[in-house]
Every structure is written in structure tokens, then in C-alpha cells.
Amino acid sequence: MSMAAQEMSLVKALFIPTAAINAGAIAVLPKCMNDLLKCGIREQNIRVYDLHTGMKFEELRTYDVVYLCGGDTQYLLERINDTQFNKSLMAYIRSNGLVIGVSAGSLIFSNNLRDNLGLIDTTLEVHCAGGEKTGKLDAPVKDRIRLTNASALAVRGESNKWEIIGE
């Protein structure tokens, strides 16, 4: 599955570590950054953005990918909603923007929490010992999707084109 529409060394990424507010999540941030670097994204093309203020859609769309790190899901969702970043982020997704959510960064889109972003109308469980098989998911999607530490749910736009990727 190709994620970017261009050469990876040209990809501009917005890296959002906002959810990492405890020691365990902060310790994982270098691994998350390394995920982007291993893909071939150049360090100078990665902007770290901590959501103290929102970002207008016009600026957000200048990035090829948004990477939302894990940590405290409720805190991340509150920051996204309080700064009005939710509106820009959902407009970005509707315009075919690529968002990678890790742990809390994925849960904000599901129905796990009140006031979620509403993209995934199912419950996500992350860090599971056993998860769903890789491959496309049939719509309608079941009530619960389980993801391991080595898998992710890829959602294309707001459509029902969902796929489990990873191992």
C-alpha cells in the first residue's frame, strides 16, 4: 500500500506529540520520530507541533502527512477540540490528506470517547496481544476492531475503504 504520492525524501510531515504527557509516552517519542525517518522522510521536512494553538486548514494542507503520537487520549482530544484543530484536521482528511494515528492518535477518531472526531464509528482497541487479520475490512465494520502493536487501521477519506495494515 503506497501512502505518499511522491518521493519520500520530499514528503513534508507534521509530527504532533501532544498526547505524550507522561513518562512512558514521552519515552516512546524518539521511536515515533524514527518511524518517519525510516520511511525516508528527511528530518528537515518534519515539523514538531504541540497544539498550543490550532492550525488553519490552509496551513495544514501544506503537509503531506500528519502523525499523531500516543499518550493520553482524553488530553489529546481536548487539545484538538479546544484549539479548533478538529475542524482543520477533518477538512484535511476530507481533502484526501494522510493521517497516521498511533495509539491515542488513532483512538480520537473512534467512538471510544465522547466528543471524538467521528471518523470511525466503531470501538478501537490498541496494544492487543492478538488483533484483526491484515487486509480490507467489509462495510459495515463490526462493533470492535482490535489492533496489535504491529498493526494499524488505514482509513481512506471518510469512505468505507478500511484496511488493517502491518503484521
pLDDT tens, residue by residue, 32-79? 999 899 989 999 999 999 999 999 999 999 999 999 999 999 999 999
Residue with the larger pLDDT of the pair 128 and 150:
128
Return the percentage of the chain with pLDDT > 70, whole number. 89
Report cis status (omega within 30 of 0) of the bond before 140: yes
**Residue type for position 100:** I
Q: Are 147 and 124 in contact (CB under 8 A)?
A: yes
Helix axes 73-82, 85-94, angle to 10 degrees: 90
pLDDT confidence of residue 121: 82
- For residue 86, pLDDT over 70 is answered with yes
3-state DSSP assignment of residue 86: helix
Helix (H) or strand (E) holding 94: helix 85-94
Q: Locate cell 467489509: which residue?
A: 138
Query: pTM higher than 0.85, yes or no?
Result: yes
